[in-house]
A and B are shown apart, each in its own frame.
Chain A
Amino acid sequence: MIELDINGVRRRLDVEPDTPLLWALRDTLQLTGTKYGCGQALCGACTVHVDGTPVRACSVPVSSVVGRRIATIEAADRGRIGRAVQDAWRRLDVVQCGYCQSGQIMSAIALLARIRKPTDADIDGAMAGNLCRCATYQRIRAAIHEAARALG
């Protein structure tokens, strides 16, 4: 048994210690908002926060995040920044297929927590690890700026 702190709740999981956090979230806890895209930290679809830092859940074994605060897209609306990001995404209709967007949003929230008024270069850097096959990048950029404006 492994105990994890996920979205503020302690969860006990019967999984092997080498199980990636991604599959523990998706298959064991049914938190399916975090997506599988590559399994090698190449695409960012599985981005979650560990102690506030964006990490690729596909490449983090559960044993390495015991005692850390894990936050997923399902809890994105609990913070002011998360709500601002989700609102901006909706106002601008950023999504197309939507599969990568949980990861995009989690990376964007982490960026805005760190830099309240990001420049285009900040966005290029912070979002470089999140791939979007539909190439919604122009709207992601605009939505991050819009969320920053809304946060004041």
Chain B
Amino acid sequence: MTNANRNDIRNLSRRRFLQGGAGLTLGFCLPAAAAAPAAGPGKAGEGLAVPGAFTPNAFVRIGTDDTVTVISKHLEMGQGTYTGLATLLAEELDADWKTVAVEGAPADAARYNNLFWGPAQGTGGSTAMANSWEQMRKAGAAARAMLVAAAARRWGVPAAEITVRAGWVSHPASKRNARFGQLAADAAKEAVPAEVTLKDPREFRLIGRRAPRRDSAAKTDGTAMFTLDVRLPGMLVAVVAHPPRFGAKPKSFDAGRARSVKGVVDVVQIPQGVAVLARDTWSAKKGRDALSVTWDEQGAFRRGSEEILAGYRELAKKPGLVAGQAGDADGAFAKAAKLVSATYDFPYLAHAAMEPMNCVVRLAPEGLEVWNGEQMHTGDQHALAGLFGLKPEQVTIHTMYAGGSFGRRASKDADYVLEAAQIVKAIGGKAPVKMVWLREDDMRGGYYRPLFHHALEAALDAEGKLVGWRHRLVGQSILAGSPFESAMVKDGIDVVSVEGAANLPYSIPNLRVELHTPKDVGVPVLWWRSVGSSHTAYSTETFLDEVAAAMGRDPVALRLELLSGHPRHAAVLRVAAEKADWGRPLATAKAGDRRGRGVAVHESFNSFVAEVAEVTVGRDGGIRVDRVVCAVDCGTAINPDNIRSQVEGAVGFALSAALHQAITLTEGRVDQGNFDGFPLLRMGEMPKVEVHILPSEAPPTGIGEPAVPPLAPAVANAISAATGKRLRRMPFDLSSLKA
């Protein structure tokens, strides 16, 4: 999920691209016959082969009606991947954007693996555009070459004299033209080219411009199909009674009252709880509420979150495993003229996607069929196959639109997908099942952003220079127990626990970063949009502000001085500061209000983002983030409007957490269950967001996550500028800001 070993994997995959493996599969053309099976998001079809259509490779199908259907190996969960991948392919194909549609690929790691993840198909770590950048363009170029070859053969002219533009193939000399659809059948008979030449970026017509989202229409008229909208003949809906504590199991249950609820069909025990199956969701919920379950809590985790945190604070007083070091940190602190220190607390956080986790599973004689907003195709496929004793290829996954994920669907152990499958297994596969987690099941279901405690110290020498930095982190490992553990946990250090901290970009001569990874906390944890950077950016960027204040330095000037070896960090920082009028006084507030400006810069997922926040703090401590100016370097901007959209959303997502959110536990029970206890940002709280994209010809990097990390520290630094108060615990305690 992060940067480890990416380059090795990428290069290997790229070399193999046109020689099979992850690359092109041969096209075929069946006689025109029945209408195309409905495939893709929202429709329960799956075949890539459509009668009469031209299917030059695994990523595109061109119909005789001119429709260019791009096959997305990545999940569309809001981040714009369907549009982005289609843009890459359509660019090299020279397709007419209006005729481009997108559908989700089936689970098939041989054709659809994430090139940064080796032999696994999945979406995450803001890798979709980066790993597909060459692959999708080559797929489009190969299809284009086959259309050109077909036209050349039909017209008896040299291929070199043929041009392609917006869905038309033309031979200008003889004034002959054909639409893609008119050539599709012939193109399918042409050989797949061994090599293709990609466009010079100056020739791009779609990349770098706004290509309207392909999913906007369906998502504004109610027709976009999410997993929760799937209905199969004879399908039952399952709502599950889950144990009250992590690690508990069902011991026994009395289903008498549940079974008497109209519509309830069956009640079954599964390892994760007790499932009530009914004809519809409401009946299943009523049945679940009428259940009486006795839990076996022998293995249950019983500590509260404050207790966990107290333990972490004690741990932070002791040395941990060294995750990064430079120079002689202890020596620098021994000689320091001035010390700055601070500790930070970060809560568990739920992903709280608007569509609660749910999954549809059907057992058929030939295998298992699954409908899901699928983010970890290969891992889930193997887990499901294992449960039923099937081969992975006997598990068909239909990837639906996902109503958000923020990391939740990228399950490291197939958790909710397996739960749905366990229910199907428990009823002997007699009916397809849609397992629905109600909001409370989703929020109390674990797999949170881990709770973390950080302790930071800085040493200034007699001349006031920053000479030493010590950073100690305490928190659970996300990668432990995941398929990425062997590659990404090195010498006991989970790289995503310390990303953003161990690779601090500032040139500080003496530095040590240490990690404690408690293994006795039974709360399941998972990646949450921006993963480790969701806490490391906060502690490092607010602490650096404290250090700047102790040095009497301007926060932007100090950062620029310390970023001499990191020009891309420095560049976004300069642009954000300039566009935000850094250094000029803010417009005055009304009487009693205090205003401030704060900055933060952070790299994550190979992208660089700086944000300047302007904040007004009321007399009562209430805060309003008025404006956030963002500068982004994510390499080549494939779709600038989508980059802006992702950055705007990331600002709101991060502000939700800073202002409102914590998952807390009391004696092992999760305290929050719905949006009353775990509030999301509302319309009136959304700041005005400005996004400035740095021009770049570097390959594209991530944009789904990288704008999250700098927001909270920029806001906290702005609050500090306005009030002099430092906020070291998330979410912010605004009562401390009262005038």
Do residues B439 and A135 form an inter-chain contact, with CB atoms below 8 A?
no
Q: Is the CB of A74 within 8 A of B222?
A: yes
Complex CA distance for A89 and B220, rounded to whole angstroms: 7
| Residue from B221, B641, B656, B686 with most neighbouring chain A CB atoms (10 Å) | B221
Bound state CA distance, A36 and B649, in angstroms?
21
Alpha-carbon separation in the docked complex, A125 to B281 (Å):
32
Pick the contact of A97 from B262, B401, B439, B656 — CB < 8 Å? Answer: B401
Residues in A whose Cβ lies below 8 Å from that of B646: 96
Chain A residues with CB under 8 Å of B219's CB are 95, 98, 101
B116 within 8 A of A: no
Q: How far is the CB of A122 from chain B (nearest CB, A)?
A: 11
Interface string of B298-320 (1 = CB under 8 A from A): 00000000000000000000000
Asked if B603 is at the interface (CB within 8 A of a chain A CB), the reply is no
Asked if A119 lies at the interface with its beta carbon under 8 angstroms from chain B, I say no
Alpha-carbon distance between A40 and B405 when the two chains are bound, in angstroms: 21
**Considering residues B212, B220, B221, which has the most beta carbons from chain A within 10 angstroms of its beta carbon?**
B220
Contact bitstring A120-135, B, C-beta under 8 A = 1, else 0: 0001110110111111
Q: Contact: B228 with A35, CB < 8 Å?
A: yes
| Cross-chain contact A95 with B651 (CB below 8 angstroms) | no
A residues in contact with B223, CB < 8 Å: 33
Take A23-B280, A135-B686 as given contacts and tell me if A98 and B676 are in contact as well, using a CB distance cutoff of 8 Å.
no
Contact A137 B354 (CB under 8 A): no
CB-defined contacts of A135 to chain B, threshold 8 Å: 648-653, 655-656, 681, 686
Contact A45–B439 (Cβ < 8 Å)? no
Which A residues from 25 to 80 make CB contacts under 8 A with B? Answer: 26-28, 30-40, 42-43, 45, 72-74, 76-77
Closest residue of chain A to B353, judged by CB?
A133
Q: Known A35-B403, A96-B80, A130-B683; judge A137-B652 contact (CB<8 A).
A: yes
A39 to B436, CA, bound (A): 13
Central interface residue in B228, B283, B401, B404, by most chain A CB within 10 Å: B404
Contact A43 B282 (CB under 8 A): no
Nearest A residue to B373 via CB reads A97
Residue B155 lies at the interface, judged by CB distance under 8 Å to chain A: no
Docked pose: A94 CA to B652 CA in angstroms? 14
Task: List chain A residues, Cβ under 8 A from B560.
Answer: none
Docked CA distance A68–B314 (Å): 62
Interface 0/1 of B201-244, CB less than 8 Å to A: 00000000010110111111111111011010000010000000
Contact indicator B280/A33 (Cβ below 8 Å)? no
User: What are the residues of chain B within 8 A of A141 when measuring CB–CB?
Assistant: 683, 686
Q: Cβ of B438: which chain A residues have Cβ within 8 Å of it? A: 39
Q: Which B residue's beta carbon lies closest to that of A86?
A: B220
Contact in complex: A133, B282 (CB < 8 Å): no
Asked whether A90 lies within 8 Å of B220 as measured between CB atoms, the reply is yes
Question: Number of A residues contacting the other chain (C-beta, 8 Å)?
Answer: 58
Known: A136-B649, A137-B652, A138-B648. A98 touches B221 (CB 8 A): no
Given contacts A35-B403, A134-B649, contact A40 B282 (CB under 8 A): no
Contact B688 A23 (CB under 8 A): no
> B631 on the interface (CB 8 Å rule)?
no
Do A20 and B652 have beta carbons less than 8 Å apart? no
CB of B641 within 8 A of CB of A93, answer: yes
- B680 located at the interface, meaning its Cβ lies under 8 Å from any Cβ of chain A in the complex: yes
Taking a contact as CB atoms under 8 Å apart, the answer to whether B221 and A73 are in contact is yes
Q: Are A16 and B262 in contact (CB under 8 A)?
A: yes
B218: nearest residue on chain A (CB-CB)?
Answer: A98
User: Is B55 engaged at the interface, CB distance under 8 Å to the other chain?
Assistant: no
B216 touches A90 (CB 8 A): yes
Asked whether B684 lies within 8 Å of A26 as measured between CB atoms, the reply is: no
Q: Is the CB of B354 within 8 A of A132?
A: yes
Task: Kindly list chain B residues whose C-beta atoms are within 8 Å of the C-beta of A94.
Answer: 216, 220
Q: Does B448 contact A (CB under 8 A)?
A: no
Contact assessment for B216 and A27 in the assembled complex, using a CB-CB cutoff below 8 Å: no
Known: A32-B225, A98-B215, A100-B354. A131 touches B77 (CB 8 A): no
Residue on B nearest A106 in the bound complex, by CB: B222
State whether A38 touches B439 (Cβ < 8 A).
yes
Residues of B near A125 (CB, < 8 A) are 684
Contacts A33-B223, A97-B354, A134-B649 given; does A89 touch B216 at CB 8 Å = yes
With A36-B356, A93-B216, A101-B220 as given contacts, are A133 and B225 in contact (CB-CB < 8 Å)? Answer: no
CB neighbours of A117 from chain B (8 A)? none
Partner of A95, one of B216, B229, B352, B689: B216
For B292, the chain A residues whose CB sits under 8 A away are none
A99 touches B674 (CB 8 A): no
Give bound CA distance, A94 to B682, whole Å: 16
Q: Is the CB of B686 within 8 A of A138?
A: yes
The reply to whether A131 and B686 form a contact with Cβ atoms under 8 Å apart is no
B220 near A95 with CB under 8 A, answer: yes
A73 to B223, CA, bound (A): 9
Q: Which residues of B contact A76 (CB under 8 A)?
A: 221-222
Partner of A72 from the list B222, B224, B225, B237 (CB cut-off 8 Å) is B222
B78 within 8 A of A: yes
Instruction: Note all chain A residues with C-beta closer than 8 A to B344.
Output: none
- Report B-chain residues with C-beta under 8 Å of the C-beta of A35: 226, 228, 354-355, 403
A39 to B355 Cα, complex, angstroms: 12
CA distance A90 to B221 in the complex (A): 10
Interface contact B674-A38, CB-CB below 8 Å: yes
Residues of B within 8 A of A33 (CB): 221-223
The answer on a CB contact under 8 Å between A134 and B404 is yes
At the interface, yes or no: B507 with Cβ under 8 Å from chain A? no
Contact A42 B676 (CB under 8 A): yes
- Taken together as a complex, chains A and B put the C-alpha atoms of A138 and B644 apart, in Å, by 11
B406 within 8 A of A: yes
Q: Which residues of B contact A77 (CB under 8 A)?
A: 221
A97 to B643, CA, bound (A): 15
Does A140 belong to the interface (CB within 8 Å)?
yes
Who on chain B is nearest to A96 by CB? B78
For B686, list chain A residues within 8 Å (CB).
135, 137-138, 141
Contacts A35-B354, A43-B675, A138-B688 known; A97 to B404 CB distance under 8 Å?
Answer: yes
Question: Are A23 and B355 closer than 8 Å at their CB atoms?
Answer: no
Name the residue on A nearest B217 (C-beta).
A90
Closest to B282 in A: A23
Q: Which residues of B are found within 8 Å of A137, using beta-carbon distances? A: 652, 681-683, 686
B439-A39 in contact (CB<8A): yes
* A139 contact from B218, B405, B648, Cβ within 8 A: B648
Selected from B215, B220, B354, the residue in CB contact (under 8 A) with A105 is B220
- B642 proximity list for chain A (CB < 8 A): 93
Taking a contact as CB atoms under 8 Å apart, the answer to whether A97 and B675 are in contact is: no
CB-CB < 8 A to A95: which residues of B? 78, 213, 215-216, 219-220
Q: Which residues of B contact A36 (CB under 8 A)?
A: 228, 281, 356
Would you call B222 and A124 a contact (CB within 8 A)?
A: no
Contacting pair B652 A98 (CB below 8 A): no
How close is B606's CB to chain A, nearest CB, in angstroms?
A: 22
Q: State A32–B401 Cα separation when bound (angstroms).
A: 13
CB-nearest residue of chain B to A97: B78
Question: What residues on B are CB-neighbors of A39 within 8 Å?
Answer: 438-439, 674
- Binary contact track B379-397/A, C-beta < 8 Å → 1, others 0: 0000000000000000000
User: What are 16 A-to-B residue pairs whose CB atoms are below 8 Å?
Assistant: A16-B283, A36-B281, A37-B354, A40-B676, A72-B222, A76-B222, A93-B645, A94-B216, A95-B216, A97-B78, A97-B405, A100-B403, A127-B682, A134-B78, A136-B645, A136-B649
Report A's interface with B, CB cutoff 8 A. 15-16, 19-20, 23, 26-28, 30-40, 42-43, 45, 72-74, 76-77, 86, 89-90, 93-102, 105, 123-125, 127-128, 130-141
Binding site for A on B (CB under 8 A): 77-80, 210, 212-213, 215-226, 228-229, 231, 237, 262, 280-283, 352-356, 401-406, 438-439, 641-642, 645-646, 648-653, 655-656, 674-676, 680-684, 686, 688-689
The 6 closest A-B pairs by CB, nearest first: A33-B222, A135-B652, A99-B403, A98-B219, A97-B78, A96-B78
